[in-house]
Amino acid sequence: MRIQVLGLCRFSLLTQGDFQTTGDDLDRNRAILYDPARMEQRMRWFEAVCIPPLMWQTDPDFLLIIVTGSDLPARWLARLQRLAQVMPQIRIEQLPPARHAPSCREALARHIDLTADVVVRFRMDDDDAVAVDYVRRVRADHRLAERLAGQHHPVVINYISGLVAEVADGRFALHAEMAQNWVPAQTFYFPGGAVRSLMNYRHDKVWTKAPTIAMPGRAMWIRGHHATNDSRGHLIGRNRIPTDEAELAQVLSRRFGLDLPALSAALTGTEDPLA
């Protein structure tokens, strides 16, 4: 059986509407998105948090579609292209301003393997991460999802254990959390040839439209939280798991291949994450 694993990562994607905190003015949102200070911060998160665990996947058979704006300034596009040169799973799609969901659906559709029996899809923001064994795990867990599979709907697995990385007032903090229906590591199993996409479903409401499985266990994701998030992060901390710093450092290393002091330095601007 051929199982394709296909991810979507939004990197400062300029869309028409769909912004929760900055309104609908396209020119204003372009100025906010492409502000050099903001872009430097987002790129640091992308290079230090999102990309390394993907590069170190124990199963490298996947694609990551990075969607960004057609007018992304050349400086930042060059840094994305630099990453694509060292990570062959990356495909960059530059999209003109349009509605968010249809644009992302079309970008994903261009990379679907039409010979696949199952297409596993996931989405993440540029400050999220998945564990280094995520791709291997989602392939193995297909045996659970296929029992609920239907011809006209996906099956969703929510890996509910992860970490929240926060930067506020120049200080870095990390804590363990359990969360249901967050975007990082929320995994959709679609039958091959399915017309619908994960972009047809709100991540927080998908349980009302498709069978879902909540999977506790080892940390499977990192969610970033900082001043440039469009979402307000009001759900963060509701199911915080008390964990000491030594254990957090161990989880970060074993599950994501990241070093706690180095990550803190990279995200607070004192170290180049790709140096």
Confidence of residue 229 (pLDDT cuts 50, 70, 90): low
Residue 24 has pLDDT above 80, yes or no: no
Residue 197 has pLDDT above 60, yes or no: yes
Q: Are 180 and 214 in contact (CB under 8 A)?
A: yes
Residue 72 has pLDDT above 90, yes or no: yes
CA–CA dist 168, 159 (Å, integer): 26
The residues near 166 (Cβ < 8 Å, ≥ 6 apart) are: 172, 173, 174, 175, 224, 225, 226, 236
Average pLDDT, the chain: 89
Tokens of 232: 């307000």
Confidence of residue 23 (pLDDT cuts 50, 70, 90): low
Confidence of residue 275 (pLDDT cuts 50, 70, 90): very low
- According to the model, what pLDDT value does residue 127 have? 93
Domains in the chain (CATH in brackets) are: 3-267 (3.90.550)
Residue 99 has pLDDT above 50, yes or no: yes
- According to the model, what pLDDT value does residue 64 have? 97
Confidence of residue 239 (pLDDT cuts 50, 70, 90): confident
In this structure, of 180-184, 191-195, 257-261, the range with the lowest mean pLDDT score is 191-195
E runs forming strands in 115-249: 118-125, 129-130, 155-159, 161-168, 171-178, 186-191, 212-215, 221-225, 240-241
- Closest to 113 measured CA to CA, from 183, 65, 68: 65
Confidence of residue 230 (pLDDT cuts 50, 70, 90): low
- Side-chain-side CA neighbours of 60 within 13 Å: the count stands at 8
The DSSP H or E segment spanning 142 is: helix 142-145
The residues near 270 (Cβ < 8 Å, ≥ 6 apart) are: none
